[in-house]
Amino acid sequence: MNPPVENEKPVSKQSLPGTVDLPVMPAAKMRIWNIRRAISIKGSIRLGVGTFFFTQGLCFASWASRIPHIKNLLGLSDAGLGSVLFALPAGSIVGLPLSGWLVSRLGSKRVLLFGALLYVLVLVSIGFVSATWQLVAALFCFGLTGNLVNIAVNTQAIGVENIYKKSIMASFHGAWSLAGLSGAAIGTLLVSVPPLFHFSGVAIFCFLAIFIAHRFTLRGNMSSGSQPIFAKPDNALLALGLIGFCGMACEGAMFDWSGVYFDKVLNAPKALTTVGYVAFMSTMSGGRFVGDWLANTIGKRKMLQMSGVFISVGLMVSVIFPFIIPVTIGFLLVGFGVSSVVPLVYSAAGKSPTLPPNMALAAVSTISFLGFLIGPPLIGFIAEAASLRYSFAVIAALGLGTAILSSKAKLIQ
């Protein structure tokens, strides 16, 4: 028999009477087809999960961009707004252990769908508020549903990472950051539009994206046995939680205080007070899209150590040289340092041998998120007692703590 030539059509087997001839694909072409199909499926799943990260980031940024409008609408003072805003992290803290339990019982796919839809609906409800108590209730629910999405989507991301067999978690969080920048830009363009119309437009887009993307998410494993609401983390997970605590404390400090630092310490012109925040956000977003490549190249442990050094050096440059250009460079370094800490910590938590990924994530996220809550007020207390520069030096020490803890964490490869 002559060997098949490259452009030859598939050969048909001899058919039996009354049957239809079916083409037989050569083995080489079958292998190529299977590879292409596998790549296509992997890419679709990755895109589907990434879409949920994007929609969550877009919703959060849409709310954040309209805070000044809602503050004026309700006639809140600065102190009053601060008290009201605490409802969001309060809902997040309540939702963290509950989310892990729900994912165990119902599966991450189902929790992700319903959590994402509820998150969008709560965003729209914020547009209806006309009293302070209504805003408090809406923000509490926003934090609660946000963490349903957070645990479910990160559980999905760990599953996708296992399929790829390499670090891709940072790129998912990069989608969230990219959505944050997009949401802030949209909020700026729609600043004269009532929040309800703004949020409704975002909701329509998110609903469409969610229904399309949900088809491509992974099926989550459900547990039929009794599951605790909160699983006590072992020492390995506790170490990851402390690394996340340090990273999120630095991240929260930069979110809340970078503009104040430019204003109070540098006495920068009003037009330049947002330069530090933009510098930080740009490298944090960009860093997440190169973080996976770096982690796969040099290893997650070295990547986290390097991240801690970048955070510490960037903040110390800002403290030692209180001028616009050096501080901007310092904030760029901090943004890059912060970018990969939480994604790599979450990725490592998913490899825990003692707990399923969703429960491990809930435990580590709870500890990490405390840093996001404690970091900004800590800066305020130290600034009140000493100065804002001293408080940034303390946060620099937390960056160094990230590097030190990463060198000893067992679950970080």
In the chain, count H helices and then E strands: 15, 2
Helix (H, G, I), strand (E, B) or coil at 141: helix
Euclidean distance between CA atoms 52 and 215, whole angstroms: 12
Lowest mean pLDDT among 46-50, 60-64, 229-233: 229-233
Better pLDDT: 54 or 353? 54
Q: State how far the alpha carbon of 195 is from the alpha carbons of 60, 69, 139, 198, 287, in Å.
A: 13, 8, 15, 5, 31
Euclidean distance between CA atoms 280 and 293, whole angstroms: 21
Six-digit token pair at 130? 């006309």
Better pLDDT: 309 or 367? 309
8 A C-beta contact, residue 123 and residue 203: yes
Six-digit token pair at 220? 């989550």
pLDDT tens by residue, 220-275? 655 544 555 556 778 888 999 999 999 999 988 888 788 888 888 898 887 787 78
pLDDT tens by residue, 81-127? 878 888 888 898 888 778 888 888 888 899 999 999 999 999 999 99
Euclidean distance between CA atoms 144 and 165, whole angstroms: 32
Domain 230-413: which CATH class? mainly alpha
Euclidean distance between CA atoms 252 and 373, whole angstroms: 7
Q: Which residue type occupies 167?
A: S
Domains 47-221 and 230-413 in one fold: yes
Euclidean distance between CA atoms 211 and 127, whole angstroms: 23
pLDDT tens by residue, 63-81? 988 888 888 899 988 678 8
- 10 Å CB burial of residue 94 (0-12, 13-18, 19+) is middle
Enter the pTM of the model.
0.78
For the chain, the domains span: 47-221, 230-413
Residue environment code for 95-119, b if the CB has 16+ CB neighbours within 10 A, otherwise e: bbbbbbbbbbbbbbbbbbbebbbbb
276, 284, 376: which is closest to 335 by C-alpha? 284
47-221 folds as: Growth Hormone; Chain: A; (1.20.1250)
The angle subtended at Cα 340 by Cα 335 and Cα 342, nearest 5°, is 105
